[in-house]
Structure 1
Amino acid sequence: MAEQVYDVIVIGSGVMGSSTAYSLAKKGRKTLILEQFPILHSRGSSHGLSRMTKLGYREQYYTHMMVNSFKMLAELERETGTELWINCGALGIGPENDDYLCDVKKALTNVGGAVDVLADEELKKRYPMLSYPQDHVGLLDHKGGLLKADCILRGLQTVFRQRGGEIRDCEPVMAIHPGATVTVTTSKGTYEAASVVIAAGSWADKILGPLGLSLPLTIQRVTVCYCRELNPGSHSPDHLPCFAELYGSPPYEMWGLPSYEYPGFAKFGLHSGPEISPDTRDQPDGKWVTDRVTAYVKEHFPGLEPTPSITEQCIYTMTPDEDFIMDYHPQHHSIVVAAGFSGHGFKLALVVGDALSDMAMGQVPKYDMKPFKIARFQDASSQ
């Protein structure tokens, strides 16, 4: 017998699970979050103090979602009475007439977003701490900035609890039994709900495997690097926006944020890392990642010490096309699957939670969900 019965059980307390639960609680649903680790842990993809946000995406469907994301972020700020982001801008860097930057500019224009194209001299004048070739331009997304990630995650969980939601941490899921209601057995008890949302990050396959579903997910360990300013304060959000560039051959994405969580240290990360198992994350060698960051900073950020003074780790869980998975289990409509958000998911978490909550309630989300279907991988494999 189940100890308690809920409308929805959410598995995973990262930003996607917490946002989904937050949305469900606001819609009046009795909701439980189950988390295998202590709450606000650092084992997955949602910990840390900062993330980049932006309005413009190459994909128009993400740009439209981001319009709502900013509105929902403002609502969460009002609910928590807390500042949740710093509007310092987001700068895309690349060669003039770069296809990617042109697509982002078009997407921004389509939604009325403010954008500047900064050619060589203007880029140097606006951001003298940067050093890029003369043929490079900067595409400044005025709506972009720095998300206060830990404050957002805490805020979602606080409002969720205030609205009657329940969080049980240190309680791994042992089994899920679909049926007229879904029964979830954990290390400590048994619970029932009309539907379940699985938002377990890099542990998704471990939970979905017994349910007969395997997803094409790649798990990577990403090293976040912090480089010291030579001139204190020169790389603060007042002077430096968040930024990203595709570089190298084959191209890798390098991203960075101004000095925030470690005052006097700018933050850098490579959108890649060694493939890992989430339970043995520290075993593979990742020195090549910090070597790439060091070389990049040395070339393009002369006002920083190129060798990172501080490094931290995060886990990315990626799909082959780097689009999310938000879909029902193919055989069990009462189970919603949410996975593959890493690398760019945090900024969209509030919208994702809204969509997943609608799905868990049997309603149709107000977003274009076609890019997030599980069947796209099956269709690709048959071609």
Structure 2
Amino acid sequence: MDADVAVVGLGTMGSMTAWQLSRQGVSVLGFEQFGIGHDRSAYGGGSRRFRIASPLVEETPFIKGSYHMFRDLEQEAGQQLLSYSGALTIGDPDSQRMKNVMRSIQEYDLRHEILDDHEAMRRYPQHRLLPGEVTVWDEMGGVLRPEQIVIAAVNRARKLGAQVHSYTEVKDIQADETGVTIIAGEDEKEYRVGKVIVTAGPWANKLVPNMNKIYSAQRIIMTWFIPESPEQFTEEKFPNFSRLSGGRHIQGTPAIDGRLVRVSESLERAKYDSADHFDKNVSVEDILGVREAVKELIPNLNPDPVSIAPFMDGFTTDGLPIVGSTSKNENVILLCGFSGQGFSQSPAMGEIAAHLAMGNKTGYDIKHLSPKRFGL
């Protein structure tokens, strides 16, 4: 055996999985077809919002558990990776989305404040609120530095003994009763491991073709704006936010570089049969919606984006990730399909994948995420 476990794809989930396995003394082979911290997949763009009070209640325990692991990685890497500025969720208190946020808070005892529209506009005048909207402040929220986190986790795994092969594409995965053969690189070298964890994001269905009917690569567009008064959009004054207001669903992060504010719109995404066909061109029509949302809801930003960047993630037909061993072979573990919701919960997911690979039970409920729901 070349290693106990192979991790295929060292992005959001793969970096955390390799780190978690290596911390447990498991020998790891990590494969990444691009460079570590590349700009093609779901974690690009320089910032990700972190909040625990989620409108997707079932993911809240994974995010809450991840908070402490991000702090652990900070200690191990000697870098700040997650800020302490809190997070805002804004919307109609009678909407199902805001009711779910409150349910997350109550079920998981999260520190928070609820601000009516008058108090919220006093504290955060950058937002133009609609009548009756409320703002929930999540004390444990902040801003994540995604590329820095991926690189820090992979570097920690290396220091703990993991062998990392960057710019090495995995061509095939051949599993049998005693282990898994990995064929990788231009020379199609064979590696033998006990188990493989597929963390290839939008490329996962290329390695596991029987996922094609329930899996697709989809584009996520991010846009950045220039504020009229940059000092009003620092992280201390303008925490990361998500809001659904008047049918417009936007989210964003402050000017962490002192210059650009990221505001992105949740909209129907372009789909690709293969992540290899990803098109990084963005049309004017693709950004008109976020432009109008900024004009209406955050009027002190210049509404024309000065930077636009598309990224990809792997999406499932039910919007939930795929976590667990395949029914065909327990030596193949899938950790993919996070459908644009993965980064905040990635340390916990990496820990779960490590437990599965080691034959241990996890303390999280992952039955609803099983590959078997899709017949995989």
1:157-196 CA-partner distances (Å, limit 9, x unpaired): 1110110111101111112111112111112311011100
CA distance in 1, matches of 2:281, 2:213: 23
* Structure 1 gap ranges (5+): none
Cross-structure match for 1:65: 62
Cross-structure match for 1:295: 292
Equivalent residues of 1:145, 1:242 under 8 A apart: yes
Equivalent residues of 1:237, 1:259 under 8 A apart: yes
Equivalent residues of 1:228, 1:265 under 8 A apart: yes
1:109-162 CA-partner distances (Å, limit 9, x unpaired): 222211111111111101011102112111111111101112211210111011
User: Which letter does structure 1 place at the counterpart of 2:197?
Assistant: V
Q: How many residues align?
A: 371
CA distance in 2, matches of 1:363, 1:170: 31
* 1:262-273 paired onto structure 2 within 5 Å: 263-272=258-267, 273=269
CA distance in 1, matches of 2:116, 2:242: 16
* 1:93-108 paired onto structure 2 within 5 Å: 93-108=90-105
Cross-structure match for 2:220: 222
* Structure 2 gap ranges (5+): none
The DSSP-based 3-state class of the residue aligned with 1:92 is: strand
1:209-249 CA-partner distances (Å, limit 9, x unpaired): 1xx45451232212111110101221110111111123565
User: Of residues 65, 85, 90 in structure 2, which corresponds to 1:88?
Assistant: 85
The DSSP-based 3-state class of the residue aligned with 1:322 is: coil
CA distance in 2, matches of 1:95, 1:46: 29
Cross-structure match for 1:126: 123
1:301-355 CA-partner distances (Å, limit 9, x unpaired): 1111001011112112222232211021120100001111142210111000000
Alignment of 1:75 with 2:72, yes or no, is: yes
Alignment of 1:113 with 2:138, yes or no, is: no
TM-score normalized by the length of structure 1: 0.92
Cross-structure match for 1:193: 193
1:261-305 CA-partner distances (Å, limit 9, x unpaired): 4x3221011234322342222277643331111000000111110
User: Which letter does structure 2 place at the counterpart of 1:254?
Assistant: I
CA RMSD of aligned residues (A): 1.9
Equivalent residues of 2:90, 2:136 under 8 A apart: yes
In structure 2, the CA distance between the partners of 1:253 and 1:317, relative to structure 1 (3 Å rule), is: farther
Alignment of 1:260 with 2:253, yes or no, is: no
Equivalent residues of 2:11, 2:43 under 8 A apart: yes
User: Of residues 312, 318, 321 in structure 1, which corresponds to 2:318?
Assistant: 321
Alignment of 1:12 with 2:15, yes or no, is: no
User: Which letter does structure 1 place at the counterpart of 2:323?
Assistant: M
CA distance in 1, matches of 2:38, 2:174: 27
Cross-structure match for 2:244: 246
CA distance in 2, matches of 1:74, 1:228: 31
Equivalent residues of 2:45, 2:309 under 8 A apart: no
User: Of residues 46, 51, 56 in structure 1, which corresponds to 2:48?
Assistant: 51
Alignment of 1:275 with 2:245, yes or no, is: no
Which stretch shows the higher mean deviation, 37-46 or 55-64? 55-64
In structure 2, the CA distance between the partners of 1:101 and 1:89, relative to structure 1 (3 Å rule), is: same
Which stretch shows the higher mean deviation, 78-87 or 266-275? 266-275
Equivalent residues of 1:105, 1:115 under 8 A apart: no
Identical pairs, percent: 27
1:57-83 CA-partner distances (Å, limit 9, x unpaired): 234442222221111111111111111
User: Of residues 178, 181, 186 in structure 1, which corresponds to 2:179?
Assistant: 181
1:29-72 CA-partner distances (Å, limit 9, x unpaired): 11010111122211211233210111112344422222211111
Equivalent residues of 2:130, 2:245 under 8 A apart: no
User: Which letter does structure 2 place at the counterpart of 1:230?
Assistant: E
Cross-structure match for 1:206: 206
In structure 2, the CA distance between the partners of 1:264 and 1:31, relative to structure 1 (3 Å rule), is: same
The DSSP-based 3-state class of the residue aligned with 2:103 is: helix
The DSSP-based 3-state class of the residue aligned with 1:130 is: coil
In structure 2, the CA distance between the partners of 1:347 and 1:358, relative to structure 1 (3 Å rule), is: same
